[in-house]
Structures are given as structure tokens and as C-alpha cells.
Amino acid sequence: MGHDWVTHQIENCPLDDENQPPRKIIHVDMDAFYASVEQRDHPHLRGKPVVVGGSPEGRGVVAAASYEARKFGIHSAMPAARAARLCRDLVFLHPDFMKYREVSRQLRAIFEDYADHIEPLSLDEAFLDVTENKAGLPTATAVAKEIRRRVRDELRLTCSAGVSSLKFVAKIASDYRKPDGLTVVPPERVLAFIHPMPVRKLPGVGPATEKRLNDIGIFTVGDLAAVPAADVHRRFGKHGAYLWRMAHGEDPRPVQSSQPRRSQSAEQTFAEDIEDRRTLERILAGQAERVCRGLESAGLRGRTVTIKVRYGDFTTVTRSETLEQPTNDPFRVAEMATALLDRTEAGLRPVRLVGVGVGNLVGREETLQLELPLEFDD
Ligand SMILES: [Mg+2]
């Protein structure tokens, strides 16, 4: 019984090859993201207690709280009514997800200068595998410093970063000196760093598991590490075995970069140039229908509709419009495509090709989060 026995309980988690050097992982987390973006863009809100989400009349919940608001004990997921009672001068703001998404894209573009393997956890948080970094910087710490500097200079926002050979340790580390902090945990320091932490800090330990662990005298990660593996497995099953491995400084999960589809489109070149605007509208509507069917079957919706028009002389223009809420409704997309056609010379000049695309795609889950602003931010 012991370590190897536990290892075999963990499915789909191959062990690191011991001959491989440790991975270098950075976890970056923006500080009070939504609230900070609003304070950046509205200077009169700086230095003030601000929350995004909820209403002063007490409807809804707080999605993000500025650090000034946190001094009053206000935090994300708190009912707005309670937040309003805690701070009389609290400023409530409507979330502007279009803007937060745009900042998130800018953040992603910075990450892409350093890493190919990027795993976003939300709009403002991601793991980066910088075992090999694309900028040729000497260390992961140097990459983290550079990213933090660029976020400050280019986005005029602050973030916190954690650096470790293990994902869960990088995530705990990014939280360690928040806001605007950097914590580096080299492999030989992992156990000293995690053992004094409350077990609650381990991923997957919510209030219920925490209570069950506390009930048997396990309060810190170090307490968990000291319990025989078989005991943990018997009481908590596979999940417990995984927690035990983490308490021993193991986390085999790689940074999972997903390369989501960025857009879906259809286009058509005509045998003969078309001058009749109505005909072009009908063709765009058919293309919108096909694109939306593809999105629907992939469980995706998009926020940006783009049309492409190539004139008889081969000059090509594109026109785009971005919606507040993502869609895959063919009528909505066709309607937007027709409106975009007004911003071209279709109907006035011969047209050789038209196409329509839907971009800025989000999955079902994300769509749901957008509709119900429940994407909390810390
Ligand atoms: Mg954050």
C-alpha cells in the first residue's frame, strides 16, 4: 500500500515521465476584473467602492467588487441587498460583457506571445505552459514579470500571477499576494508552501468536503499528507486519492489548450456577376441559414456577423457588426447581413462573390453565463 497503489486509482491522469524536467506553469488572474475595467474607463469611479452586477434596490448578486468595496466586506456572489447595507456609498454598475470580452481577447493576445498552451478558466484567468516560452526568456519568472508589466502598460490593469511546476500550486500562488502580486514556488519549495494551507485551498474541496475532512482532524494540506493513502481512499474514494496526491506535491494534469473555432462562414462565387441587390439578399439569407445550422449542431453561438463582398473588379470589402448577445438564429443573422449590405456598393456595382460569417463564438455554457451574469470574479 502506498503511493503507487493510489496512483493506479487515478484514471486519465498519466504520471509525469520522471526523466522529463518539471513543467513550468503560470497562472494569471486579473484583479477584481470587471470592477477594475470600469474604474479604468471611468476615472470618477477610481478609489470608490464599486460593484458590477446587482442593483441598489437589492436585486441580483454582486459579480465583482472593487478593492475599495471589499474593505466593507463585500465580495462576489453576495446578494446586492446585503452589499448595499454594508456600504451606503456603494456604486452599482451594469456589467458590460462586450467590453470584458474585448479586454479578455487583448489579454489572450499578450499570452500568445509567450505560450502556445493556454488554458483559460474564465474571461480573466488562465494557465500558461511556458516550459518552452516563445519569447526566449530565461525563466518562467521572467515571463510572468513581463506579462504583468505588459498588462499594466498595455491594458492599464493589474493582475496577479503564480509560477510553479504544478497547476494547482500555480493557482494557489497567484492568489497568495493578491492584488498585483507575483509568487514563485520552485519545485523544491512546493511542500513547504502548501502544507500549512487550509485543505480548502485544494481544488475540488468545497465546504462539504472541508467539513468531512475537518471532522476527522484534517485541517491543513499537511494534515492530509500525513494520513495513510488507503484511509483517504476508503473515506473519500477516487477524489480523496487525488487530493492526497496533491498534498504530496503531485498534479499530473497538463495545461489543456483548447483551440476553439473562431468563426463559421459560407461564401459563393457566381458564374456571372450579380447587380440585383434583392438576389444578393436572398443568397446571403441562404448562407446565414447554412452557417447557423452548423453552429447549432456544434452547440455554438456567435456575437459578430461579418459579410464579404467581392466586386467585379476583384476588390473585396468586409463589413461587421457585433451583437450584445450571441446568436445562431438564421433570421437574425440574415437581417444583420442585409443591413451590412447597405454599407457596401452592392446593387450599384457588379458583385462576383458574397459570403457571411459568424464569429466571436461561445459555447452553450458560456452563453448561459452571459445571459445570467453569474460569472463571478475574484
Ligand atoms: Mg480574477
Distance 377 CA to ligand 1 centre (A): 5
Full set of structural domains in the chain with CATH: 1-31+97-259 (3.30.70.270), 33-96 (3.40.1170.60), 263-370 (3.30.1490.100)
Looking at this protein, which amino acid is placed at residue 36?
A: S
Provide the pLDDT for residue 17: 52
What are the pLDDT digits (tens) for 327-336?
999 999 999 9
290 Cα to the center of ligand 1, angstroms? 38
Alpha carbon 217 to its chain's center: 36
Spacing, Cα 178 to ligand 1 middle (Å): 10
pTM, rounded to two decimals: 0.67
148 and 182 in contact (C-beta within 8 Å)?
yes
Rounded distance between C-alpha atoms, residue 288 and residue 267, angstroms: 10
CA distance 31 to 65: 10
- Nearest to 110, CA basis, from 128, 132, 137, 136: 128
Q: How far is the CA of 89 from the centre of ligand 1 (A)?
A: 24
Read off the amino acid at residue 136: G
How many other C-beta atoms can be found within 10 angstroms of the C-beta atom of residue 201?
Answer: 18
Determine the pLDDT at residue 378.
40
Q: Are 156 and 39 in contact (CB under 8 A)?
A: no
Length of the chain: 378
Q: Does 272 qualify as catalytic in the annotation?
A: no
pLDDT value of residue 300? 83
pLDDT at 44: 97
Q: What's the order of all strands across the beta sheet hosting 64-65? A: 64-65, 50-52, 91-93
Task: For the chain of 378 residues, list the mean pLDDT of each consecutive stretch of 10.
Answer: 34 50 95 97 97 90 95 94 95 93 95 93 93 94 98 98 97 97 97 97 89 96 96 88 93 78 82 93 94 83 92 90 89 94 93 92 56 36
pLDDT at 260: 57
Q: For 269-295, what is each residue's pLDDT tens digit? A: 898 999 999 999 999 999 999 999 888
Which is catalytic among the residues 125, 250, 366, 375? Answer: 125
